[in-house]
Amino acid sequence: QSVLTQPPSVSGAPGQRVTISCTGSNSNIGAGYDVHWYQQLPGTAPKLLIYGSFNRPSGVPDRFSGSKSGTSASLAITGLQAEDEGDYYCQSYDSRLSGPVFGGGTKLTVL
């Protein structure tokens, strides 16, 4: 059981918009800790997609955006492309565990 909760799967057609939620608690997201998002394409290592809840590293398309409110955060992907298919993980810091925690991951399928 992951400390952060994500839906197991989401799907959308090419060109559409999808969102992936990440729900935590008052010891992590709700305590004000930043949320980071990672993309893991099949057979590869995770790659940083969003940091500090809203920011994109250099080279990440602006089709990807992050938001945060209360004890939850979301990743939005617009203009879905076949190459976006993979697993997406959220991550924050938890004060009770005194370390980083991850969501269970969400598998994105592009129909």
Task: Closer to another protein by CB, 43 or 82: give it.
Answer: 43
Smallest gap from Cβ 38 to another protein, in A, equals 7
Which chain residues interact with another protein by CB under 8 A?
Answer: 2, 34, 36, 38, 44-48, 51-52, 55, 57, 89, 91, 93, 97-105
Is 35:53 a contact under the CB 8 Å cutoff? yes
Smallest gap from Cβ 58 to another protein, in A, equals 10
Smallest gap from Cβ 2 to another protein, in A, equals 6
Q: Give the three-state DSSP class for 25.
A: coil
> Which two structure tokens, joined as six digits, stand for 97?
């565990």
Task: Closer to another protein by CB, 13 or 44: give it.
Answer: 44
Separation CA 6–CA 105 (nearest Å): 6
DSSP letter (8 states) at residue 5: B
Smallest gap from Cβ 105 to another protein, in A, equals 4
Task: Closer to another protein by CB, 18 or 36: give it.
Answer: 36
> Which two structure tokens, joined as six digits, stand for 104?
């269970």
Nearest to 37 by CA among 9, 61, 56: 56
